[in-house]
Amino acid sequence: MSRECCGPDEPVVPVAVDSCCGSPEPLPIDDGVDLAPWWRDRALALPAASGALVAIGLVLEWRGVGVASVVIFSLALVAGARTFVPSTLKRLFTAKGRGRMGVGLLMTIAAIGAVLLGHVGEAAALAFLFSIAEALEDRAMDRARLGLRSLLSLIPETARVHRFGEEQSVSAVDVRASDILVVGAGERVATDGVVSRGRSWLDTSAITGESIPVEVGPGDEVIAGSVNGSGTLRIEATADGKDNSLTQIVRLVEQAHANKGERARLADSIARPLVPLVLVAATLIAAFGFAVGDPGTWIERALVVLVAASPCALAIAVPVTVISAIGSASKLGVVIKSGAAFERLGTIRKVAFDKTGTLTRNQPEVVETHCASGYDESQVLSLAAALEANSTHPLAQAIITSANERLEAVEVQESPGLGITGRVEGRSVRVGSPRWIDAQGLSESVASLAEQGMSVIVVEVAHRAIGVIGIRDELRPEAAEAIAHINAQGISTMMLTGDNTRTAKAIAHRAGVDEVHAEQLPADKTNHIRHSAAQVPTVMIGDGINDAPALATATVGIAMGVTGSAAAVESADVAFTGHDLRLIPDALAHARRGRSIMTGNIALALAIVAVLFPLALFGVLGLTSVVLVHELAEVVIILNGIRAARPPRHSGRQVPTESLASPLSLEASPR
């Protein structure tokens, strides 16, 4: 997407590049652009055509149709080379690219050498293998970039603004700092601001990832994209509609993807010093021939040396392992988007978790009820549920679900941000925050539940507090076991959450997490991940839109895909189709094993080059022998790479049952 410099205003989000106008250039929102299905992807057309032509050429060669096979191989070579040779040469002849001579250049040189020596089929096979690998990698990156559109859906198209003594409806991007926004029940907040009038609760789960609503009143800060509860709020905007929390998330994700694109593949990092050495050696060999008066012999040897040092085996060493490993992982619900992601996954030394929806269920539940004398748990929950059945508060469903008896309430009135009142069976009943309802003799119970980090609801009948209800988001039952397995592999763990410090520390202790950072906004999470990834390879695991920048910034981002937001899934390198956290240590071990096999294959490929190079240099081996050795090495490498297809298996280590049964502390904002 692009836009002319200083053009007319339109709905935009900023990205981290300088425009010709001297400020970050905004990109227009384009919901009509989508990634084409793979069978209609033009970028895959040439590699696919190259592969088909190579197959036809092999059949013709086997049938003894020599001329036709050479023609077909030539077409396959052109189709495959078209995808990487022009860009390789462009990088080579730019100041920035001279220091980036990787596998692409070596593949180009090897293909040219093979053609000069009459082995067009070899050159075509090389071009096909490399072109298909590059095309699939580019497609994965395009998918990630397009996924950012889902972030923008959280910004409403219009906002109600109080200007010049009257209420106006304006485009959300036209909102300016200091404008007074009028946000009704169920509406989204158009930009960041501070509440100036009214009380309500806000659903901030899309931004902070927390499932428990946040009570807000005058003086409280609110975040763009939050969903208002039942009260009407007046909010003084503190950021323009084009530059708020959500647009910052987009910017952070764009920056992270751009930075990650610069990271070299394993094969490239090895090929980089090899390329100039091979080129210098071949040039010196040819020059020596002119010096001794026998240029024909030594030029041919120089070409044989180029083929001997060609990256045929090196080109296969990584893809065959990656394809085998990624395929087996996908059968268990671990979708790895690219070879580069798989390579990085095998290096991880720290795992960072989002809390809500990742370590916890993201389903608040009633877990403890304290009652006054004369009442039992069933009565307290039934009375509370009768009123909550008429409420829009997110905690209402937890109470309704826990009640065994269904009672009817009348004259129900909700006080936004405080609670709800009504009459049940002729009695006056109130349900709400301890700040609104005096817990009386149950004050100690309220303090105890709050100390454990629970959301506390007080139930009052005829001005007497009859019970208090503690609600929390439960830890996933397999979380402690999964983290124990991760730690057993020598990998440290960290938790990042928008929840308060007391809750976060309780969850971390319960799950066995080593390090915790609480009260984190998306930018804060990203900064922690960036700092950690600079120290050790770090994986980030999350499922919300608020996690997208951190997922993109991490060495590897893993999205929990079943309930994960589109932005999280698209920003991540790996997606889980399920929510079983025990797959995480299995995936890490699987990637580490695959990387070990990959490294072994690369070592073998380099050893072949090291052996063939002097033999070709001194004329011990001719072109036919060199090609034969390369082919045998490729067979061995392929067979070794196929071993990576063995699926990851759960280690089966047992976690002490007392750790699974320890109490969970979770704090959340009540009404």
Q: For the chain, what are the domain ranges?
A: 156-242, 335-359+476-588, 362-475
Among the residue ranges 107-111, 229-233, 423-427, the one predicted with the least confidence is 107-111
pLDDT band at 529 (very low <50, low <70, confident <90, very high): very high
Please report the pLDDT score of residue 286 as a whole number.
84
Angle in degrees, 0-180, between the axes of helices 295-308 and 583-617, rounded to the nearest 10? 170
Find, among 221, 226, 233, the residue nearest to 154 by Cα: 226
Whole-number Å distance between alpha carbons of 169 and 453 = 41
Asked if 538 and 517 touch (Cβ cutoff 8 Å), the reply is no
Task: Tell me the C-alpha distance between 397 and 22, whole Å.
Answer: 51
**pLDDT recorded at residue 484:** 93
Q: Which amino acid is at 60?
A: L
> Quick one: CA dihedral 618, 621, 622, 626, positive or negative?
negative
Q: Measuring CA to CA, which residue among 655, 663, 658 is closest to residue 480?
A: 655
End-to-end Cα distance, the chain: 43
* Residues 374-433 pLDDT 10s: 899 999 999 999 998 888 676 888 899 888 888 888 999 888 778 899 999 899 999 988
The mean pLDDT value for 512-540 works out to 89
Q: Is the pLDDT of residue 669 over 70?
A: no
646 to 29, 323, 330, 556, 590: CA distances (angstroms): 43, 12, 12, 22, 9
User: Is the distance from CB of 142 to CB of 161 less than 8 angstroms?
Assistant: no
371 neighbors 554 (Cβ within 8 angstroms): no
Residue of 455 and 655 predicted with greater confidence: 455
Question: What is the average pLDDT across 572-580?
Answer: 74
267-289 pLDDT, tens digit per residue, is: 666 666 777 777 788 888 888 88
Q: What angle do CA 130, 609, 55 make, to 5 degrees?
A: 35
Residue 465 has pLDDT above 90, yes or no: yes
* pLDDT tens digits for range 536-557: 999 998 876 677 788 888 999 8
* pLDDT score at 135: 72
Nearest to 151 by CA among 19, 253, 27: 253
pLDDT tens, residue by residue, 70-80: 899 999 999 98
Reading the block at residue 417, the tokens are 């941000």
Residue 287: which residues within 8 A CB-CB, separation 6 or more?
Answer: none
Give catalytic status of residue 354 as yes or no: yes
The pLDDT value recorded for residue 236 is 93
Report the run of H or E that residue 353 belongs to, with start and end: strand 350-354
Residue 365 phi, psi (nearest 5) = -135, 150
Is the predicted pLDDT of residue 155 greater than 60, yes or no?
Answer: yes
CATH 3.40.50.2000 correct for 362-475 = no
How do 556-560 and 574-576 pair as beta strands? Answer: parallel
Residue 194 has pLDDT above 80, yes or no: yes
pLDDT at 5 over 70: no
- What is the 3-state secondary structure of 65-125? CHHHHHHHHHHHHHHHHCCCHHHHHHHHCCCCCCCCCCHHHHHHHHHHHHHHCCCHHHHHH
Exposure letters 117-135 (e unless 16+ CB within 10 A, then b): bebbbbbbbbbbbbbbbbb
| Closest C-alpha among 35, 252, 140, 132 to residue 573 | 140
In angstroms, rounded to a whole number, what is the distance separating the alpha carbons of residues 639 and 633? 10
Share above pLDDT 70 across residues of the chain, in percent, rounded to a whole number: 74
pLDDT at 146 over 90: no
610, burial (CB in 10 Å: exposed 0-12, middle 13-18, buried 19+): exposed
Which CATH number applies to 335-359+476-588: 3.40.630.10, 3.40.50.720, 3.40.50.1000, 1.10.10.10?
3.40.50.1000
Residue 20 has pLDDT above 50, yes or no: no
Residue 390 is predicted with a pLDDT of: 85
The CATH number that domain 156-242 falls under is 2.70.150.10
pLDDT above 60 for 478:
yes
The model's pLDDT over 39-55, given as tens digits with 9 standing for 90+, comes to: 677 778 888 898 899 88
The Cα 175–Cα 177 span in angstroms is 7
Question: What pLDDT shows up at residue 15?
Answer: 35
β-pairing, 455-461 vs 464-475, is antiparallel
Residue 366 sits at the vertex; the CA angle it makes with 364 and 370, to the nearest 5 degrees, is: 145
661: pLDDT confidence band, cut at 50, 70 and 90? very low
Mean of the per-residue pLDDT values for the chain? 76
pLDDT at 406: 83
Predicted local confidence at residue 565, as pLDDT: 57
CA angle 358, 362, 365 (to 5 degrees): 140
Residues 6+ apart with CB under 8 A from 3: 10, 12, 25, 26, 27, 28
C-alpha count within 13 angstroms, C-beta hemisphere, residue 481: 17
Q: Which residue has the higher pLDDT, 482 or 19?
A: 482
**Residues paired with residue 472 on neighbouring β-strands, in sequence order:** 365
For residue 23, name the pLDDT band (cuts at 50, 70, 90): very low
**Residue 125 or 535, more confident:** 535
Of the pLDDT bands very low, low, confident and very high (cuts 50, 70, 90), residue 160 is very high
Give me the pLDDT at residue 133, please.
60
- Which of the residue ranges 15-19, 298-302, 359-363, 593-597 would you say has the lowest mean pLDDT? 15-19
Catalytic residue among 203, 354, 573, 586: 354
Q: State residue 249's pLDDT score.
A: 61
Q: Mean pLDDT throughout 510-533?
A: 88
Q: Give the best-scoring range by mean pLDDT among 53-57, 83-87, 163-167, 294-298.
A: 53-57
Tell me how far apart the alpha carbons of residues 627 and 625 are, in angstroms, rounded to a whole number.
Answer: 5
Q: In what order do the strands lie in the sheet with 464-475?
A: 360-371, 464-475, 455-461, 427-432, 419-424, 409-415
Contact 222, 193 (CB under 8 A): yes
Rounded to 5 degrees, φ, ψ at 57 are -60, -40
pLDDT at position 544: 66
Name the nearest CA neighbour of 148 among 40, 233, 248: 248
